[in-house]
Every structure is written in C-alpha cells, then in structure tokens.
Amino acid sequence: MLKNLRIEKKVFAEVVAHLQAVYPQEGCGLLAGLDGQVSHWYAVENSLHSPVAYQMDPAQQLQAMLAAEEQGLMLLGVYHSHPNGPPEPSQTDIEQAYYPDFVQVIVSLQARAQPFVRGFYIIDGHVNEISLLLE
C-alpha cells in the first residue's frame, strides 16, 4: 500500500472536467501510473446513470485495464464523484470496494466551482485515508 498518491495537476484537472461533464450523475474511471504517481486516467461510463451510485461499464473497464497494461502502467486507483455528497466513502462504496489494492479517490462536487477530493484504501470494510498530492 502506498503512503500517498501523487496525481499530476493536469490529470486531476482532466478528471474533474470529466466528472463535471457527467454531472449530476456520478462519474467514474481508473487511474494509472508508476511508482505511486498518477499520469493517466481512463473514463469509464457509469452504467447506472445515477446521481447516488456508480457501476463501471464492464467492457469499458476491461478496455481501460488493458490500455494501462499496454502502456506499461500500473493501475493505482479508482475515482468517482459524489455530485451532492461529501468526499468520503458511502456505505455502498465500502461494500463494493472490490479492489483493495487501489486507492479509492472520491471527488465531491457539492460546491461545483470548488471540487474537494480525498483518497482512501478500503479493505474488508475498513476505511483508511491516504494523502493525495497534486503535483
């Protein structure tokens, strides 16, 4: 497990733009890079099209995973938005944290002009916050 996750500012800006574009639905996707540094992101359609839950489209999720592998990158995290909620895991997020090795990055859009982001490891129902560093 990483002690912190570093995200390139350009990548973070692009992720936020994606989440704003699908608002008021929850947006989601994958984050990849090397050595704890996120350098690539992959938008994945929320097949639920919901403002309170997400489920990654399986085919798009697989495509994103294969693209990261082809680029020689490691998958580091999953991101999604909370359009009207705080940047902390919901009970559903905790129950559906299927990738314990990935940082769960949650972007709150409660104040759309000032997105707020936090990251967590969620393992067996236990939530541990991790530092996110925008570089």
Q: Residues with catalytic annotation?
A: 26
DSSP 87: S
Residue 28: name the closest of 9, 43, 6, 38 by CA: 43
Peptide bond into 24 cis (omega under 30): yes
Q: How far apart are CA 126 and CA 75, in angstroms?
A: 21
Helix (H, G, I), strand (E, B) or coil at 44: strand
